[in-house]
Amino acid sequence: MVHLRFVLFLLGTSVTNLAEDTLVDGTYDYDLAVIGGGSGGLACAKEAVNQGARVAVLDYVTPSPQGTKWGLGGTCVNVGCIPKKLMHQAALLGEAIHEAVAYGWEVPSADQIKINWSALTESVQNHIKSVNWVTRVDLREKKIEYINGLGSFKDPHTLIATMKNGSKKELTAKNVVIAVGGRPHYPDIPGAKEYCISSDDIFSLSHPPGKTLVVGAGYIGLECAGFLNSLGYSATVLVRSVPLRGFDQQMATMITNEMEEKGVKFFNRCIPVSVEKLESGQLKARWLNTETKEQGEDVFDTVLLATGRYALTEQLNLAAAGVSVLSDSGKVVASTEQTNVPHIFAVGDVLEGRPELTPVAIHAGRLLARRMFAGGSQQMDYENVATTVFTPLEYGCVGLSEETATERYGADNLEVYHAFYKPTEFFIPQRNIRNCYLKAVALREAPQRVLGLHFVGPVAGEVIQGFAAAVKCGLTMEQLSNTVGIHPTVAEEFTRLNITKRSGKDPNPASCCS
Ligand code: FAD
Ligand code: NAP
């Protein structure tokens, strides 16, 4: 082995720091096979090829119960972040058209401003198809073998790809990365799979969604209800426990208040009971209030299920590979992405207890490839990952919620700085600013290390991204207040925070508040 390492060194080839077993030796068809061509799998495959590995990627999309299917690239590109952000943008533009009048733009009368759903979905789907195409070309140019087949294990080093026509292809690989992601969960109620749609279907829906019931108040439920309402479709949300459970609840309330003020209806503590198709083609949904035990029902054009996602591990035949680290929910438990079988790894949404976010999957996939093929040693740091909920008024955050910080450090050891603010853009026309709010959760003791930053307002994702780097570097309140702001922006509000919750002072800006 020493000899082999020396030869590889002379050839300029990097040597892995993982188990000797993972060294590239040519005995297998590939040095790496990746099951799942989404955010994590593709990032890992591309980085592995950059490091000189021979790589195959298996990607296969099983149609949704409503028959929706899509191309290469995974959830984010096809039925996730990208179409969602485009529909969010469509919704914001609709609001902006009305506001433009106050700036002197002459636009058609308000009742003439309406969305053309098929034009919207066509533009969104055309963009997605172009990304699918570019991704395929990229794989070809990088000489990554793309196999459009459903992957499963035959043994620890052999995969079977089942193609669309039912034929099977076998391949062997020294290392395997499981990056199969997840798919929407369907509650076990009558009518769910027959009549309801999920995020897999909404972005390419062939007809306007009309009056919509959204079941679930997580990221997807709130984002979809938000853009549907702003596009002019009535949206009602069934909330089982609380909106955005696990997030800072003060901030979650701000965004649901804002949505309510814009017309979204929320039924709290309600779970779906059944969905039935009427002769008219409309859907009658029934639900139960788990507190009052009262039943509710209404008729909708669309019922969108957004009740979480399950990992696609069942079809992998993991037992044949000896992988035995599945959680109760079927996710892979692997703190350093390595499973109990040393040459089999997992990245992305399929991992238990990790943020289900595209940049997380990408970063973990790249680092893993460097550890496998370039002698890297850096592990993925899942702490302080910033995120944004793209509701009409966005919510961005990084670090701990006030609740988690209180649990970990105790309220006496924390200082929470907060403020309401008025974005300049909201002066003309006068817009609702009741929910433009931000806070910094910090340790009380000087220099007051920042544990969490939370921001509700326009472009929250852009605001939080920069501050996330500062938090990663150990940002303190002292440094934050010594940072000179950029005026007039909404991000500068973080540099102006000076009122603590403890002081009881009014956090409203002096010049406003309607
Ligand atoms: P995926 O991207 O899901 O890729 C897995 C791929 O593997 C899929 O193509 C799947 O079909 C394929 N596959 C599964 N099983 C097999 C098999 N046995 N053989 C072959 N192929 C298989 N994240 C953000 O960061 N920002 C956002 O704004 C955001 N918005 C989202 C909005 C929605 C509606 C949804 C659903 C998700 C959103 N996400 C967002 C989350 C993000 O899409 C995921 O975290 C990310 O796609 C996970 O990447 P992955 O590589 O783990 O899996
Ligand atoms: P989620 O955030 O886990 O939310 C699921 C929601 O459905 C919760 O409100 C949950 O209520 C509810 N629910 C679950 N089972 C239910 C049932 N049987 N009946 C009624 N309600 C039920 O899941 P998600 O919204 O599907 O999103 C999945 C992941 O995708 C997220 O974790 C996120 O990481 C990623 N994502 C990211 C973005 C972004 O970055 N902007 C956007 C979309 C998605 P309880 O709280 O009571 O359990």
Helical ranges in 330-443 per DSSP H: 358-373, 402-409
Query: Is the minimum distance from the CB of 76 to ligand 1 under 6 angstroms?
Result: yes
Query: Is the minimum distance from the CB of 216 to ligand 1 under 6 angstroms?
Result: no
Judgement on whether residues 337 and 420 belong to the same structural domain of the protein: no
pLDDT values of the chain reduced to their tens digit, one per residue, 514 residues: 333 333 333 333 333 334 344 444 559 999 999 999 999 999 999 999 999 999 999 999 999 999 999 999 999 999 999 999 999 999 999 999 999 999 999 999 888 899 999 999 999 999 999 999 999 999 999 999 999 999 999 999 999 999 999 999 999 999 999 999 999 999 999 999 999 999 999 999 999 999 999 999 999 999 999 999 999 999 999 999 999 999 999 999 999 999 999 999 999 999 999 999 999 999 999 999 999 999 999 999 999 999 999 999 999 999 999 999 999 999 999 999 999 999 999 999 999 999 999 999 999 999 999 999 999 999 999 999 999 999 999 999 999 999 999 999 999 999 999 999 999 999 999 998 999 999 999 999 999 999 999 999 999 999 999 999 999 999 999 999 999 999 999 999 999 999 999 999 999 987 644 3
Number of Cβ within a 10 Å radius of residue 103: 9
Query: Is the minimum distance from the CB of 198 to ligand 1 under 6 angstroms?
Result: no
If we measure between CA atoms, which residue out of 219, 64, 50, 204 comes closest to residue 132?
204
Asked whether the bond before 83 is cis by omega within 30 degrees of 0, the reply is no
Number of Cβ within a 10 Å radius of residue 510: 6
CATH number of 432's domain: 3.30.390.30
176-230: pLDDT as tens digits: 999 999 999 999 999 999 999 999 999 999 999 999 999 999 999 999 999 999 9
If we measure between CA atoms, which residue out of 441, 364, 374 comes closest to residue 405?
441
Q: Does 505 map to a domain?
A: no
Judgement on whether residues 328 and 398 belong to the same structural domain of the protein: no
Judgement on whether residues 399 and 458 belong to the same structural domain of the protein: yes
Distance CA 279, CA 215 (A): 23
Task: Please give the number of the atom of ligand 2 that sits closest to the Cα of 189.
Answer: 18
Are the C-beta atoms of 364 and 197 separated by less than 8 Å? Answer: no
Q: Does 387 map to a domain?
A: no
pLDDT at res. 16: 36
Judgement on whether residues 249 and 175 belong to the same structural domain of the protein: no
Residue having the nearest C-alpha atom to atom 47 of ligand 2: 241
Q: Which residues contact 308 (CB under 8 A, 6 or more apart)?
A: 184, 185, 216, 218
Q: What is the DSSP string of 180-235?
A: --EEE---SSTTHHHH-EEHHHHTT-SS---SEEEE--SHHHHHHHHHHHHTT--E
Helix axes 81-100, 219-230, angle to 10 degrees: 30
Query: Is the minimum distance from the CB of 459 to ligand 1 under 6 angstroms?
Result: no
- Residue 311 alpha carbon to ligand 1 centre in Å: 10
Residue having the nearest C-alpha atom to atom 26 of ligand 2: 308
E strand or H helix at 48: helix 39-50
If we measure between CA atoms, which residue out of 158, 176, 170 comes closest to residue 342?
176
Query: Is the minimum distance from the CB of 135 to ligand 1 under 6 angstroms?
Result: no
Query: What residue ranges line ligand 2, CB within 6 angstroms?
Result: 187, 215-221, 223, 240-241, 245, 271-272, 306-309, 355-357, 387-390
Residue having the nearest C-alpha atom to atom 49 of ligand 1: 39
Counted residue by residue, the chain has a size of 514
Judgement on whether residues 363 and 321 belong to the same structural domain of the protein: yes
258-308: pLDDT as tens digits: 999 999 999 999 999 999 999 999 999 999 999 999 999 999 999 999 999
Q: Does 173 map to a domain?
A: yes
Distance CA 386, CA 454 (A): 10
Beta bridge partners of 452: 399, 441
Domain membership of residue 96 as a residue range: 74-122
Catalytically active residues are 487
Judgement on whether residues 237 and 298 belong to the same structural domain of the protein: yes
Q: Which of 255, 276, 307 is the last residue of a domain?
A: 307
Q: Does 27 map to a domain?
A: no
Distance CA 112, CA 359 (A): 40
Ligand 2: which of 223, 307, 388 to mutate, most ligand atoms within 8 Å of CB?
A: 307
Average pLDDT taken over every residue of the chain: 94
Query: Is the minimum distance from the CB of 222 to ligand 1 under 6 angstroms?
Result: no
Q: How many domains does the chain have?
A: 4
Q: How many CA atoms lie within 13 A of 50 on its CB side?
A: 14
Residue having the nearest C-alpha atom to atom 41 of ligand 1: 357
Ligand 2: which of 85, 220, 350 to mutate, most ligand atoms within 8 Å of CB?
A: 220
If we measure between CA atoms, which residue out of 389, 394, 386, 387 comes closest to residue 258?
394
Judgement on whether residues 331 and 423 belong to the same structural domain of the protein: no
Judgement on whether residues 46 and 173 belong to the same structural domain of the protein: yes
Q: Does 42 map to a domain?
A: yes
Query: Is the minimum distance from the CB of 80 to ligand 1 under 6 angstroms?
Result: yes
Judgement on whether residues 406 and 259 belong to the same structural domain of the protein: no
What type of residue is 203? F
Q: Does 472 map to a domain?
A: yes
Beta bridge partners of 237: 214, 266
Distance CA 313, CA 308 (A): 16
Q: Does 169 map to a domain?
A: yes
Judgement on whether residues 176 and 202 belong to the same structural domain of the protein: no
Judgement on whether residues 211 and 290 belong to the same structural domain of the protein: yes
Number of Cβ within a 10 Å radius of residue 336: 12
Q: Does 508 map to a domain?
A: no
Ligand 1: which of 70, 72, 81 to mutate, most ligand atoms within 8 Å of CB?
A: 81
- Residue 181 alpha carbon to ligand 2 centre in Å: 15
| Region label for 28, one of left (φ > 0), alpha (ψ between -120 and 50) or beta (otherwise) | beta
| CA 48 vs CA 11, 37, 196, 453, 458: distances in Å | 17, 14, 40, 35, 38
Q: In this structure, what token pair is assigned to residue 306?
A: 């957004």
Ligand 2: which of 76, 79, 215, 219 to mutate, most ligand atoms within 8 Å of CB?
A: 219
Query: Is the minimum distance from the CB of 220 to ligand 1 under 6 angstroms?
Result: yes
pTM of the model: 0.94
- Residue 497 alpha carbon to ligand 1 centre in Å: 37
Ligand nearest to the CA of 178: 1
Judgement on whether residues 317 and 433 belong to the same structural domain of the protein: no
CATH number of 277's domain: 3.50.50.60
Ligand nearest to the CA of 240: 2
Residue having the nearest C-alpha atom to atom 19 of ligand 2: 271
Tell the burial category of 462 from Cβ atoms under 10 Å away from its Cβ (0-12, 13-18, 19+): middle
